[in-house]
Structures are given as C-alpha cells and as structure tokens.
Chain A
Amino acid sequence: MNTNPQTAAHLRERAETASAGFPALLAAADQLAASVALGEHGRRRSGLGDEFWQYRAAMPGDNRRRIDWRRSARSDAHFVQEKEWQSAQTVCFWVDDAMSMSFSGDRNRVTKAHRARVIALAAAGLLVRAGERITMPALPGPAKTGQAQLMRMAQSLLDEAEDDFGSPAQHHFPRGSRAVYVSDFLGDWQRIETALTQAADHGVRGALIQVLDPVEEAFPFDGRTIFESMSGALRHETMKASGLRDRYLRRLADRKADLAALARRAGWQYTTHHTDGAASSALLWLYTSLAARH
C-alpha cells in the first residue's frame, strides 16, 4: 500500500475515493466472472480430497476404516475408495498500477487500468470460488483463499503508483505456483525481461495480458505535437506526428513480438487485449490458459 506521510484529510479523501470505486470494481468483476462456467480443478490423481477417484483392492496395511463396505459387499474382495487429490493452487496477480495505465484514448472508453483491474479481479474471483489461493506482490503475508482475500486484493488494486511505467516486482513465489501479469508492457524492457525470467526460474508459469488502448495501436496523430508521458516527466516533440506513425507502429509490433518470444521461452501464455474489446474475451482466455495442464 502506498503509505506516504499524508495529512488526515488527504487520507480520508483517498479512502473515500477508493471505497467509491471498490463496489463498482467488485460488481464488474463479479459480473464478468459469472460469465465463465466453473470447470474441474482436480489434480487428476488420487490423494486427499472430497471427490471420488477410484476403487482399488484393499492391501495389507490399509486401515480398515478406509474399506468401503458397501462396495465390498457386492463381491468377495475388500475395496478401498480412493479420493482425488485436491490441493489448492497459488496464483499471484500483478496488475500494473503505473500512470501509463490510466490512459484512455476516448472519453467514452475505460482506462487501461480499469480494464486490467476488472480482468484480474474477475479471474481472482473465479479462482477463489474454485478454492485456489490468490495473492498479489503488494499484499503482505501468504497467499490465501476466500472472500476476505478477494476484498484485500480489490483494495490493493485501487492503489496507483506515481511512476510512468511499471514492471513486475521481484517476488518470491511458492514453487509451482502460477502468476498473472496484467500490464501494457510499454515500460523498460530490461526490467520486464528480468522479472519474467526470474519467475520462470522459480518454476512459476502464468499468463501475460497486454492491455492496450486502440489509440496506442493506431497512432492517429497529425501536425506539430508535443507528446508527454502521463506524469509529464517524459516529453517528445515532433513537427509532423504523422511522419512518426510507421516507425512507432513498427516498434510496437517489435515489442509485442519480444513479449511473445519471451513468454514462449518461459512457458507462459501471452495475449494482447484492447480496451475497446469485451473484457469477457480476455477473462475467458485467462481462465483457459490457467486451467491448461502443463
């Protein structure tokens, strides 16, 4: 959380702003999650769990209490009922909170940040319903499941950083956990690459969702223009913006290709989502990529 020394009034104002957006974000995420049907989450092997997995003949050493008498009564042998191994997965979300995400190319279009939060929260909601544990780099303590964790996550999502571009934090993932990175991935490439490689080294797999505004894809600018980053820290002046279009688009395509290559190398999934598209498609993609077996 952002804990800069602040006046009480400023804190309260932030709290109110945050709580104002909170229900809306939750509602949007809920609505989105409802559109995805829950699938199975078992580990496809016998172990501790609630779901029936298979019967096997009782072996010497099996506790008698485990013998399924109803099944055994139908034959001469004794059978033991095995359950499917159900262990909760840990999924770590990183949603870019840098200022570049608060951009929207059109008054009627949501910001990239909003879309990223909604997708992340909806996916988290789905995972919580499936009993998985979720966490975020910004959240203290271990990954947890349940509505309380979801609330904490939502709360955390509303924070905004003051950097222009964000990059995934260096985070210690539990081995074998999953990660979801939602960002525009326009920032420093080096840091993105480092973070992703490091995560892969921990055996973490996951998904990259690149959220972009259509304006960023089209670059519909003409004339003499001074481009500024969202915080105003970076400036770039051009006499003829339209002359830059081709080269910008080429660079953007390069960035996407790099991301895709990096993801492939690390065994991650990668997609690009545009804020003028439906959030549900991104969520569906995320859901299936998380559910995929590796």
Chain B
Amino acid sequence: MFALGPIVFTAPWLLLGLISLPVLWILLRVVPPAPIRRRFPGIALLLGLSDEKAETDKTPWWLLLLRMAAVAAAIIAFAGPVLNPQTARPGSGPLVVLIDGSWADAGDWSRRQDRVASLLAEALAAARPVAVVMASDPPSGQLNFVGADQWQRRIAGLTPNPWSPSDTSWIRAQAQDFETYWVSDGISHPAREDMLGALQTKGPVTVFEGGSAVYALRPARFEDGLVVMKALRAIGSDATELSVAGYGLDPVGIERALAEGVLEFEAGAREAEMSLSLPPELRNRITRFQLTGIRSAAAVSLTDDSLKRREVALLTGRDDREGLELLSPGHYLRQALEPTAELLDAPLGDVLLANPDVIILADVARVGSNEAEALLEWVEEGGLLVRFAGPRLAASDVSRAEEDPLLPVRLRVGGRSVGGAMSWGEPKSLRKFEQASPFFGLEIPEDVNVTSQVVAQPDPDLASRVIASLADGTPLVTRKRAGQGQIVLFHVTANAEWSSLPLSGLFVQMLERLAISTRPERPDAKALEGTTWVAAETLDAFGGLESADTLAGVAGEALATDPISGKMPPGVYENDVRRLALNVMESDSSLEPAAWPASVPVEGLLAPRETRLKGAFLTAAMGLLLLDIIAALFLSGRLFRGAGHVAGIALIMLLPNGARAADELHAIEATRDVVIAHVITGDPEVDRIAFAGLRGLGDTLFRRTSIEPREPVSIDLETDELAFYPLLYWPISAIQPLPSPDAYARLNRYLRSGGMIVFDTRDADIGGFGSTTPESRKLQQLAAGLDIPALEPLPDDHVLTRAFYLLQNYPGRYAAGDVWVEAAPPDAERAEGMPFRNLNDGVTPVVIGSNDWAAAWAIDQSGNWMFPVGRGYGGERQREMAFRFGVNLMMHVLTGNYKSDQVHVPALLDRLGN
C-alpha cells in the first residue's frame, strides 16, 4: 500500500495515470469547442470576413484546468484512497471494557458509547470474550465474559450515574486475569489510583479519554446580600464564557429561568466566579442553578434552605423600658436571626399582609380579636407562630380555663420561679431531648439553666405537645399543630431574664431546628445527628430532575459525611421542616484532570474513522464535469437561452400555497361529520402516509360500518384545536420537535375529555419491547409531558378485541409489535360464566403500538394500496386484520365500552363456540 500522510491508496499504480495529464492538456488545448449552427440571412454580408485572432479557437485555460481537475479526481478516485486506515489492535484473551459512567461522562455519553461500540467491534473481530463494566455501578461477583456481540446490543441501554466510581473491591475479587480498556471520564477522583493499581495486577490497561471540556458548578453561597456562584473546569484552556441560570417557579407556578448571569473563565483559569444580586422574593423561589447548555449533573446546583432567607416578623409586647436594650425581649432574637433571616418590624395587621414565614410574639399576651382570627388563619395555612412567655403572659389570664387557639397548652396562673433569692431549689437545667423532638441530637450546654417559667396545665395531650422539658420534667417548649402550620411556645422569656437559654448557642440551634432561621453553611454531621431525610427529587447524571418516590430515607449524619452513591443519589432531601440539597459538587469540591502514569497508554476518545474517499473523489469529478457543461454552454453563448423559463418556474414554486382557512369554518367542517385526524410530525413522508392511511381507514369504515367519516385532517399540535376529533393518530418520527407546554396542556385536556391518541412508532420490524429505536426514545420524550395512565399489553378480553370484529391480533404493516392500552383496574374480576372480565368503564386514552398501521391502511388517490403488506394471501389477510383493528379502534372510541355490556354476550358466546 502506498501511503500519503493519513491517506492510503489501495491501487496506487493507477496514480501513474496522472502522468497522462500533460498530454491531455495539449490534446484538449487544440480541440476547439463545438460550433453552433445558425441560420442567418445576413450571411451575404459576412462572406469574406475572416477571424481576427487565430488563438480564439482554443479552449480557454480555466476550462482546461477544470477538465484536468475532473480527470485527476477520477484517476485518484479509482486509485482507491482511504483516510485513516484502521490497523487492528493487538491482544487476545478476556477483555474488560471499563466505563467510568460518572456525571463527567454524561456530556459526551453518546461519544463514549460509540467508542465502546468500536472497541467491541474490534473485540468481536478478534473473537475475544468481553465484559463491559460501569465503574460507578460495579458488578457483584465474577465477571461474565461473553461474546462482544451480546454486549453491542446493550450499549445503547447504558446510562451514566451521577456519582463518581468509588468501589474497587470487585476487581480484586476476580479470579481471572484480563486486559482492560478503560474509557475514562478524564476527571481525577479518590478511587482512581487504587482502581488502576488493581486493574494492572490483572493485565495491561489502556485508557481512552478526551471529549469536550468538563464544567462543574459549586453550590451558590450567600455573601453580603449577594448570591455568589463559582464554576470550575477540569482543564484551564482558552477564555470562555458560560451562562448560568437560576430556575424556579414563577408566581403563576411555571418553572422558568428567574435569574441569569455569565461566568467568565479567563484563559488558563480553572475557576470563574460571579455574583448575582437578587431580591429575597426571587431568591427564595430559585430551586436550582444550572450552567446553560451543559448536560451533566455537576452543572446543576440544587439550592436548599441555605440560600433561602425566611421572612420573620418579630413582635414584642413590652416597649416601655426604653434604653434597656439588653432587657428588651426582642434583642436576643434579633441578634440570632439577623444574619440568616429577613426581619419584619411592623404592626401585626401589616405583617400578616406580607405573609411572612414565621411570626414571633415575644411576651405578647393578647392580640385583638380580629387580628387573632387572621393570625389563626395564617397559621392554618402553614405559618409558624412562635411565642415566648414573659411577665405579661404570666400575669394575663390567657389560656387559663380553656386552651387559647394561639397557644399550644393551657397555662397555670402565675408561673413558677426556682433557684432565685426568694425561692428554694436550684435553677433547673434542661433534660436531654427525646427522639420525637425536633431538637433531638442537639447537645445541651452545662450552663443553660432556667429560673422562671410559665407552667403548663397537665392536660391529656400535654405529653405529646412537649418538645423540650426541664430536668424535672416540666415542659419548657411545647408545640401544637394547627392546620398546616404550627404554634410553638417557649415557656421562658426571649431575653435572659428568666433563663440563660437565649445566651447560649443552643438557642440559635433550636431556632434553626424550628426552621425559624437558616444557616448559610451545610450543617455538619453533628448538627444532623438523629434526623432522617427523604429524597424529594434526585438528579440524574445528565442533570435532569427525577422524582424520588421510591428511595428509602437517609440518616442525617450519612447525608453529611457519606459520598454520593446509588443509595444516596444527589438531589433534594427533606424532613418535616427543612430541605437540604445534596449536590454533586460541594463547596469544597475540586475538579482535577486525571493523571495517568507513563506506563499506561492513553488514547483519544474519538477513534479516527476509516474513511474511503473513492466516492468523494468520484463525486468531485462528476461535479467538475457538470461545471464543465455549464462553462461550455457559457462559452458558446447558449447558457442563458433557457434562463428565463427556469426563473419563471422557480418563482411559481416560491409562491405561497394560499392562506389557511378561517378557524371557524374549519371547526364547522371538522364537526359536521366524524373526522379522524393525525398529528403532523414534520416528516413529510410520514405525514403523507398517515394521511393516506386514515383515508384508507375512512373508506373502509364507510363501506363496512355506520361510521361515515369525512376526509381525514392533519393536525398541527401548536395551533389546531383538538377537541373536534375522536381519534388522533400520532405516528412517531424521530425528527419531530417536542410540543410546547401550551400544546401539552391542550393534549392533556384532550385526553382527559375522552379523546384517544394512537401512538405508532412504526418500528415493529426492528424493535421489540424494551429496545431503544430512535422512535421509541422519541415516544418516551413525547409522552413524558402527557397525562397517561398505567398501561398494559392489550389483554385478550379487552373491548378492542370485540368492538366490531372479533380480533386476537392487531397487525399493521408489521405484525410483531405489542399493543399497549390503559391497564384494567386491578380488582376486575371475571364474570360468572363469561369469558370476559367486567371492565365497564372508560375508553383507553392511549393506544401505543409499533405495527405501522397507517402504512397498511394507506391508499392513494385512485384507491390502490400504497404499500405491500406481507406476501400473497397471508399478506392480504394481514391487511384485512389491520383494517379490522382500525374499525375496532373507531368503534371503541365512538361507542366506548358498549360491547362490554352484557347485552350481546349470549350471541358472542354462541359465535365463540362456548
């Protein structure tokens, strides 16, 4: 083989033909272009005139060059050039293809899949047994080495995980030696060296890494009234800009980008910082920050309460002691809350209008009856009312005889005083918090003691309302729930008058636990000890949010210390009062590129693909020859003769097809008779077939049943009203764009109001259940926004099997695919003596299949079948069955579960031979 840089020729001796080019040059040079013959009476005047210049009869040099280039391209093409010819990778024996499968892989996942696929193809060619392993999801036990072809099918189904690999024990557990191809994410993580070492004991390791830059976003911090964001990248390359957006629900309840900013990486820098100034209302709405356009869990930073600043209204009863700031009931609260919460200072009536998160009443005995009602209403809607006792409360008769709705317990008259100058006993300290208490796990400092308090009346439900008590068991903090909110009473004052609690750190921690204040930093393990958290939403490796209904709870200390794993995926965790975000990147995480020892060969992620250039060169030669035709026409003055006509035709083609008919007229047309509709997918061929299919089905319905549909209609989901059509046929095309939220809303309304959508992925010939053809992936995306109930494969006793014809299979152009419909209620029972269950309600809102029904139904304008179905008689039978299924579908849509009624059962039984 003759190589020229990355290009190799398979038949290099043909290149000798290039030598003939100069000869060709001379030949072409002397042959003039062909003349045009013209009839011209003026020739009488021309006779005797001779051409002025002799060389004008030669071909111009640029035309010659064009022709030479065409010939040269043809010669090179037949010499068989190949770009990047593949050479086989040496090696034999068992092979492990190891994929990191972490969040850093997500951005380039399909390229990694391609790389793995090409490695598998090599292994298949070398007949090596292969095991594909995802390091983030390591296998248990011995690896199962099988043929590479078995893995090839499973590659498409692999998805990365939003955490880094950490477990390496599985490598050492292998009994067998193997070679490793390690498709790495290129990011350093703690277990990497260990893993490499372990793998090297088993056999040689080759690393493949590369791909696009990896970016990560650290959690947003709150600093000096600004939200500070920091982004990292693994490799400090050129200066670049990334935009970051904060997403949250807007006041209407739609998630949208509420804040946006730009992070600027300087050239060579690996960190970029940016701060956003956001009003508290907006800031509290943001649920996540995300680097725009980067698909990775690390590019998403979920926010939790630490970014939120609660609005706390502080009302104190006693303002008469001016100047004695330290004795003011609000002083310690203000000190404790000011750094972490927005404090509101206003009369109660105004405060309630602002709808704060928390209202603190420090030694306020009574509020006006109007205000009390409003306050109670606010609490019941989820407010947290915190009250502190004090001389006023002790002196008043509030909640004496019967419980005040705004106090958790009844109070004894006067309260009590211990350890003072006029009383016996020591000041009381606090008892350890019980497990049910929100304060469970908080350490109680030695020096916290209580000298005075108001005392709760012993009522039957007192025990359940106490969340903190003194060493002698007297309630110190009580709580009751009211509606969705709660009312908490500290039986001591908010200043240091009755106890030293407000002076201690415990006071702040207790306020935190009650979610009155929030802390900018992640609570440490100690602070979280004893709490249990449940995942509300989790992140996948691509940075998408998923609901996490099925995950078990996580202990608080694990949340603080353990690395992210399958048991504890990144996401938002919550307990009854607080939310905590667990992000892939923590505020101290770093992003380092992986460093490999020199002994490990590292290859790029993108395998240079072997490309045969013959076709390209031949095309170029052809193109040059076409150019030559145009040039020759131009030279002989014949080029523009037809130009006018061409322009005219082009102009006609550009004319618009006429405006859309008026909506109203359209609605009348659509509702005058039954009209079947199909969704416009944007793929003209698919749309054409769908339309023709519905036309064919309509003809059949017209001939065989009392349904007499009109010409079918093509529906644009974005603009057209759906309510007029009983059935919407939706062929899935991989290129269809997702409908807008508006369109989804209308689709869901359509489904809820009794419409039926028949999804047809048209791929039963290549895909079965669980396979991932582009169409079925598209269907998943499309259907994600739809309100679709639980599905099951069409059961044998479904009404669709007997709505008009008795059917047991539902072929279209293909006969292999399953058909899925809404699942029957689990309690459906088979009726006595009947072969059917009693399934009396509802029409299935969706039918999902892949048999390409429209193609089986499709007829052209003159009524001929557009597509062959099957072969011979069997094919015709299959088409007939396809039509019968279509008829049943329409019958089912239009008559509901009429056939499920018992009326026709005897006749049906008779026909079934029962």
Contacts and interface: CB of A to CB of B under 8 A. Distances in A.
Interface of A: 100-101, 103, 112, 164-165, 184, 186-187, 213, 215-216, 219, 221-230, 232, 234-241, 243-244, 247-248, 251-252, 255
B567 interface: no
A223 B37 CA distance: 11
A102 to B, nearest CB: 9
Nearest to B632: A223
Interface residues of B, number: 25
Closest 8 CB pairs of A and B: A100-B41, A222-B637, A239-B57, A224-B35, A251-B45, A223-B636, A240-B56, A223-B637
A226 B36 CA distance: 6
A243 B51 CA distance: 7
A227 B637 contact: no
B44 A224 contact: no
A248 B46 contact: yes
Contacts of A232: 39
A228 B38 contact: yes
Given A234-B47, A238-B51, A248-B49, A224 B41 contact: no
A252 B36 contact: no
Contacts of B39: 103, 227-230, 232
B325 interface: no
22 contacts: A103-B41, A165-B41, A187-B44, A216-B41, A221-B40, A222-B636, A223-B636, A224-B32, A226-B37, A228-B40, A228-B43, A234-B44, A235-B43, A238-B46, A238-B49, A238-B51, A239-B32, A243-B56, A244-B51, A247-B49, A248-B45, A251-B45
Nearest to B35: A224
Interface of B: 32-47, 49, 51-53, 56-57, 635-637
Q: Is the interface of B mostly helix, strand, loop or mixed?
A: loop
Given A236-B46, A243-B51, A224 B40 contact: no
Nearest to B50: A238
Contacts, number: 106
Nearest to B58: A239
A235 B51 CA distance: 15
Contact of A248 (B41, B42, B635): B42
Most buried by A among B33, B39, B53, B56: B39
A65 to B, nearest CB: 62
Nearest to A101: B41
A187 B42 CA distance: 9
B41 A186 contact: yes
B335 to A, nearest CB: 97
Given A239-B56, A248-B45, A248-B46, A227 B51 contact: no
A226 B38 contact: yes
A229 B56 CA distance: 24
Nearest to B37: A226
Contacts of A230: 39, 41
Contacts of B637: 221-223, 241
Contacts of A244: 46, 49, 51
Contacts of B38: 221, 225-228
B37 A240 contact: no
A229 B47 CA distance: 11
Contacts of B49: 236, 238, 244, 247-248
A136 B57 CA distance: 48
A164 to B, nearest CB: 8
B35 A225 contact: yes
B36 A240 contact: no
Nearest to B52: A243
B43 A255 contact: no
Nearest to A224: B35
Contact of A165 (B36, B44, B636): B44
Contacts of A247: 49
